[in-house]
Amino acid sequence: MTFHTADYLYPITAAPIKNGIIGLDDNGKIVEILDPASPDYTAPAAAPRQHKGILIPGFINTHCHLELSHLAGKSQTGKTLLPFLVDVVTLREMPQAEIDAAIEKWDAYMWKQGIQAVGDISNKLDTAAVKRRSNIRYYTFVEMFDFLQPARAQESFDGYRTVYDGQSGALDGNAKSAVPHAPYTVSNPLYELINGLNDGNETVSIHSEETPAEDELFRSGTGPFFDFFRGFGASIEGFEATGKGSIFHALQHLDPSKRTIFVHNTLTTAEGIQAATAWGQQGVYFATCPNANLYIENRLPRYDIFLAAEAKVTVGTDSLTSNWQLSILEELRTISKYQSYVPFDALLRWATINGAEALQFDGDLGSLETGKMPGLLAMTGLEGTTPEDFRIGDKTEVKRIS
């Protein structure tokens, strides 16, 4: 067994412990957590290894598209979502060897960056082999869409069912579910087929309220989505606007008995957060991918709305088509830079225990508690000197210990 200590130990689910000590067995399971200031403190059996900064659990990346890793730098920044989606569809076909090599590389990168688990979107089987042998624990969301064409629902579902059957799941220590892509790409019959395939205690995700064009479509039935669909040989001339944000449409068709992650949320309102939270029976989570939001749309969600609602926020990286790297620390750095009112301890919760809960991995991951194997990271270079004034800055780094 090895012991580790730093200026502060952050259990996440409990208050930070000054000079706290954590004991890990040879497999990385937490055996002891010691507070030197406690009246019943007993020194550990071996001298602890001293680390700079603070100790935290491994990060949870709740939204990624690992299979698009070969598209790094292929799509220009600031194009807005619809041209970006065209890039994803038209540029993603490359030699399989290049795709496989990129997946392998960036899976290893995420582990080195302290990411312990990933909620990963898959449209294909390209990532399945890497997930089976990875150090990272994956929850694969097999994403389905039919461009709002009810006549295509069964054919689309049958094609994605092959991906679902072949993706890494519980037998590999991972998990998987079928999910809709977004309210603007999934017909009512396809929602029904997806809901029917998920017959257990799954988590599902859906892209939500990411762009003004989506908001315009659902609120007024106008905007650039009509031309976007024509470009793919589909018509939505019969689309009926709801007069509300797209999250309200999604709530009508998703299964409230499933734990649900709404992804991006750059335009989500307090009304939408309240409605979704009241709707969900097993918990509703809001994944933010700030660097992707800047990459594609040059905008961020208003995190003050989520803080005021006490919403369960999680953090994702999205894909290398829409990001410069796959690093949760870089996502936290961006939030801290552009919306610096978000408290440091809230950022850590978003990046750890909230994500673990969203993926239903919180029995093992997301916090420093005895019996868990959440990974252990040393975070250094923080601005400030105490938990009350810590901030993630330009010099902040993380290093994996376990």
* Together in a domain, 128 and 264: yes
363 falls within a domain: no
* Together in a domain, 314 and 392: no
* Together in a domain, 298 and 375: no
Average pLDDT of 183-205? 97
The CATH number of the domain where 378 resides is what? 2.30.40.10
366 falls within a domain: no
* Together in a domain, 67 and 208: yes
Average pLDDT of 63-79? 96
Per residue in 351-375, pLDDT (tens digit) is 999 999 999 999 999 999 999 999 9
* Together in a domain, 64 and 111: yes
Spatial contact of 382 and 333, defined as CB atoms under 8 Å apart: no
* Together in a domain, 21 and 8: yes
Torsional sign, CA 275, 279, 282, 287: negative
* Together in a domain, 111 and 253: yes
Average pLDDT of 64-83? 95
Q: Report pLDDT for 140.
A: 98
Q: Report pLDDT for 88.
A: 92
* Together in a domain, 8 and 106: no
Percentage of the chain surpassing pLDDT 70? 100
294 falls within a domain: yes
Q: Report pLDDT for 263.
A: 98
Average pLDDT of 113-123? 98
* Together in a domain, 38 and 140: no
Per residue in 325-338, pLDDT (tens digit) is 999 999 999 999 99
Q: Report pLDDT for 238.
A: 84
Average pLDDT of 267-271? 98
Residue 16: give the domain boundaries: 2-56+371-400
74 falls within a domain: yes
Average pLDDT of 347-351? 98
The CATH number of the domain where 125 resides is what? 3.20.20.140
34 pLDDT tier (thresholds 50, 70, 90): very high
pLDDT at 237 over 90: no
* Together in a domain, 206 and 225: yes
365 falls within a domain: no
Q: What total number of domains does the chain contain?
A: 2
183 pLDDT tier (thresholds 50, 70, 90): very high
364 falls within a domain: no
- The contacts of residue 58 (CB under 8 Å, 6+ apart) are 114, 115, 116, 117, 352, 365, 374, 375, 376, 377, 400
pLDDT at 232 over 90: no
* Together in a domain, 78 and 218: yes
Neighbours of 133 (CB within 10 A): 10
* Together in a domain, 48 and 66: no
89 pLDDT tier (thresholds 50, 70, 90): confident
